[in-house]
Structure 1
Amino acid sequence: MPDASTQAAPPATPATEEKLAYRLFTGPDDRSFCERVAAALAEGYVLHGSPAATFNGTTVIVAQAVVLPAAIASADAAVASAVDDLESDGFGADEAFEGHA
């Protein structure tokens, strides 16, 4: 059986790899889960929504979403642009869209 010094280390994440805009952490409600979320916050992510929790009969399982602030700004800008496009197509903010609920 090989000792720990001869086992291959997991591959390092390239420094040029782009961060995901959205991440969802799930797992047992323990210190490890909290450390994973805290590490993401230290990397610049912010909490997105409230945590969720459920019980599987043995353990409390939790989930927490995090996002990069730039992703939120980008999404907000895309929505604003789409609204501007609709308004420039003759649909004003006060006009009804017939046939749409």
Structure 2
Amino acid sequence: MKLYRLLTEVDDAVFCHKVTAALNKGWELYGSPTYAWDAKEGVMRCGQAVVKEVPGKEYTPDMKLGQQ
């Protein structure tokens, strides 16, 4: 089964650490990062899609993807 997550965060070191943690748990980058201005908060936000192949599992909507 292939899992998909979109990691998002303010454009700072926290975002980089979030992506690095996912990579070290076996997730792989999927596509290019994205950036958008959050007018409500007055900050830039980053996003990066990641995917991971997980053998022997079946997807359910209550699955905690970050714990896979």
Does TM, normalized by the shorter one, top 0.5? Answer: yes
**Is there any run of 5+ residues in structure 1 with no aligned partner, and where?**
1-19, 72-101
How many angstroms does 1:34 deviate by?
A: 0.8
**Among the aligned pairs, what percent are the same residue?**
41
Aligned-residue Cα RMSD (Å) equals: 1.7
Distance 1:64 1:34 in 2: 10
Distance 1:54 1:42 in 2: 26
Give the helix-richer structure, 1 or 2. 1
Alignment length, in residue pairs?
51
Higher RCO, Cα 8 Å, sep 6+:
2
SS at match of 2:23: helix
Give the strand-richer structure, 1 or 2. 2
**Is there any run of 5+ residues in structure 2 with no aligned partner, and where?**
55-68
Structure number, greater radius of gyration:
1
The structure 1 segments of at least 4 consecutive aligned residues displaced by more than 2 Å after TM superposition are none
